[in-house]
Structure 1
Amino acid sequence: MLPIPFLLLLLSSILSPSSAADFCVADLTLPTTPAGFSCKKESTVTVSDFVFSGLGVTGNTNNTLKAAVTPAFSSQCPGLNGLGISAARLDIAIGGVVPLHTHPAASEFLVVTQGAILAGFISSSNSVYYKTLYKGDAMVFPRGLLHFQVQTGRSPAVAFGSFSSPNPGLQIVPFALFANSLPTPLVEKVTFLDDAEVKKLKKVFGGTG
């Protein structure tokens, strides 16, 4: 038998309203921290902080990748801050690709709504999992693992992703390697690519050095 005072305390904690805040709307005027954005004063929060209308707009795929991502993260929808969720729209034109990339802070669940996408990821043991997804198909990409999406078929593809963080983070491998000022000889050393190929890719992605 539990002591009566303990039972009363337990019952009180179950029935009493939570003292935790209902939400922590991001204050975008302050810098972000590893824990996310600081909270706005509740008196300044409006319904607009919980609404994002951009996911119905087709992204601009007129770029090197022929792909566009429209994020709905806490920077775009401040009400997501602290809730552990977010979303994004993915548009891939014919011949387009979202190259190997990673979301350091989140797992992703991708649902195809138009066209076909060859999607996959690489595990930390270098096992590869990939499959062509059609309208209505979905695939999960575990947190932090390299993954990709490639348009297939005869029409542009559209998909929507949900994430287990309001700020999933993003690092695209080709941009990380070839869109910065890392010296060409060093890139060659760490990638095993020859000089001509590294310089070609730096030119494509805008890198220097």
Structure 2
Amino acid sequence: MSSDIFAIYGASGCGRGVMPLAREKLRSRHVPLDHLVFVDDHPVSGVINGHRVLGFSDFLSIDAAQRHVVIAIADGGVRENIAQKCIRNGVGFWSVVADNVVVMDDVVLGEGCILSPFVTLTSNIRVGRHFQANINSYVEHDCFIGDFVTFAPGVKCNGNVVIEDHAYVGAGAVIKQGKVGKPLRIGKGAIVGMGAVVTRDVPAGATVVGNPARLINRK
């Protein structure tokens, strides 16, 4: 009888950082480690860190009961395109959550998320599909995070914040707490630069940098 196979989609730095977390997650479920692979659209090596690297078509050709991927690519738009390709080909999604992640009260996570070590989600939070939170990031109370949002390491998202689809928040950025009934909003596809301190709404498609964060580009 065929078994399920699991994959990290993306064999670059992000994917290699997620693989050890995925390995531990599957080991605890007694899944053989040869059932965990990398998938990459442009594989440059047959094996990375002890795991096979397959092109997508090769992944589809493996005899498996079901196929599951988690997409470890920082660009939210690329992540969405890959997710749509997986759906068209009957590939499901799984989430990778580090053992020391803290999730408190009334937190709802969408499918395909990656929560790296030392991430904290406090209370009354809604998170969309394919969210990536890198090491030492947090999301405080009463936040809404859309689909395909990316947090680089050390992001501090305080309470009453709305982050729309495809937004990217750079390493060490701080997002000021919003107000009840008037959350601070980061628009769809916005980019918050490394170390920025966001004190007001960020328009969709905008790039902001600095302390306090200022607009440097807007699509």
Report the structure number with the largest CA radius of gyration.
Answer: 1
Q: Calculate the TM-score normalised by the size of structure 2.
A: 0.21
Instruction: Choose between structure 1 and 2: higher helix proportion.
Output: 1
Return the structure number with greater relative CO, CA threshold 8 A, min gap 6.
1
